[in-house]
Amino acid sequence: MPYTPSSARYSEMEYRRCGNSGLKLPALSLGLWHNFGHVDVLENSRQILHDAFDAGVTHFDLANNYGPPPGSAEENFGKILLEDFRGYRDELIISTKAGYKMWEGPYGEWGSKKYLVSSLDQSLKRMNLDYVDIFYHHRPDPNTPLEESMAALDLIVRQGKALYVGLSNYEVPEATRAIQILKDLGTPCLIHQPKYSMFVRWVEDGLLDLLEKEGVGCIPFSPLAQGLLTNKYLKGIPEGSRAAKAHGFLKEEDITEEKLAQIKKLNELAEGRNQSLAQMALAWLLKDPRVTSVLIGASSPAQLADSLKGMKNTQFSSDELAQIETILQNS
């Protein structure tokens, strides 16, 4: 049967304005960092995308090297987009990135104009698209002038290959300069995508304030700390989890006794709020109005459904916030 989206897909999702722009993003967006490569089951990936859109998730986030192998997440997404979402492109926000290694040789990574333009051209072909809605520089390049990287983003918008541009993994000094350069070029920075969760909080040391001041949106990735902020690891490392996968970024040694103790206490607090730990971790990020959207991953439709409930209760009492801080500081 051909896919027909739910007619009620916009009834439950909250949409937040992205910085000072005219664009709104869903409170929860779907990242395709894991579970969408050629090593994964295509029909599972397809069902996750269907369920996400049915729930009002309009933003799908990729990068050139997502897989594995690199490029395969874009290829699979492009296939599903063509087969199932052909008539819904204008309801979707599709983003991709370039910055990490994608191909061999001196032009296959970092931030030169050569690499950024070539990478997006490849991404568009893999996804069967004429343009993406957002194109990010995935990480700053210490050996390329920032002016060159930002000029490449400006060029890409003027070529019609992207509607907006963003930054990812930029700390405050580089982000400050990049935002100003883009503003001067006439292609303002729409959004910043940093790593941010209860366990990774560097963005609170100035970045969120900068984004608010400059009218730039914020979309955290790894909000569940690669699965640590879920009930998945409360009883050890389950088979098939990210920590158990050879190609995963979460390693077994990351799951220490101290970390497990924190996770168990946070889980107890979440249960008191009638939430799963994952739902509470997402709500904790969404409580901040400076956060436009939170990027969630999903290995199954059931995991996606659980995460989507995280936007149902983003209100925290002062006592709950104090308890969370106490737990996080006892590491």
Q: What are 61-120's pLDDT values in tens digits?
A: 999 999 999 999 999 999 999 999 999 999 999 999 999 999 999 999 999 999 999 999
Q: Are 231 and 194 in contact (CB under 8 A)?
A: no
Contact in structure between 284 and 292 (CB atoms under 8 Å)? no
Residue 285 belongs to a domain: yes
CA angle 249, 235, 202 (to 5 degrees): 40
Distance CA 255, CA 171 (A): 26
CATH classification of the domain holding 177: 3.20.20.100
pLDDT at 122 over 90: yes
- 74 to 63, 156, 300, 301: CA distances (angstroms): 7, 19, 18, 19
Yes or no: say if 211 and 18 are a contact pair by the CB < 8 Å rule.
no
Reference 31, options 264, 259, 303, 250; nearest CA is 303
Over 60: is that where the pLDDT of 246 sits?
no
Rounded to two decimals, the pTM is 0.94
Residues linked to residue 168 through DSSP beta bridges, in sequence order = 193
Amino acid making up residue 65: N
How confident is the model at residue 38, as a pLDDT? 98
Q: Per the structure, how many domains does the chain have?
A: 1
Residue 325 maps to a domain: no
Each residue's pLDDT tens digit, 57-78: 999 999 999 999 999 999 999 9
DSSP 8-state secondary structure symbol assigned to residue 135: E
pLDDT score recorded for residue 247? 46
Q: What range defines the domain where residue 36 resides?
A: 15-236+278-314
**Does residue 51 belong to any structural domain of this protein?**
yes
Tokens of 329: 């500081």
Q: What is the mean pLDDT of the chain?
A: 94
Span 248-297, pLDDT tens digits: 555 667 678 888 899 999 999 999 999 999 999 999 999 999 999 999 99
Q: Give the other-Cβ count within 10 Å of 256's Cβ.
A: 10
Determine, yes or no, domain membership for 267: no
The listed range with the strongest mean pLDDT (132-136, 237-241, 313-317) is 132-136
Question: Could you tell me if residue 305 is inside a domain?
Answer: yes
Split at pLDDT 50, 70, 90, the class of 1 is confident
Per-residue pLDDT reduced to its tens digit, 20-48: 999 999 999 999 999 999 999 999 999 99
pLDDT of residue 328: 95
Reported as type and span, the H/E element at residue 208 is helix 207-214
The answer to whether the Cα torsion of 255, 258, 264, 268 is positive or negative is: negative
Question: Considering the domain boundaries, does residue 326 fall inside one?
Answer: no
Q: Considering the domain boundaries, does residue 321 fall inside one?
A: no
